[in-house]
Structure 1
Amino acid sequence: MIGGLLFTAIFSVFVFADDPPWPDVHPCTGASIPLTTEKAVVQAIECLYDGRVAKVTRQNTGRDDWYYQLRILISGGRVKTLDVHPQTGLPLDPQELEAINASFNN
Structure 2
Amino acid sequence: MNQIELTEDARGLPLVRVQLAKAQAHAVLHLHDYERVQALTGNASWFLNSSGNGHRYVRVWHPATARNVMVARLILGIEQGAIRHQDGDPLNLRRANLIRPLRRAF
TM-score by length of 2: 0.31
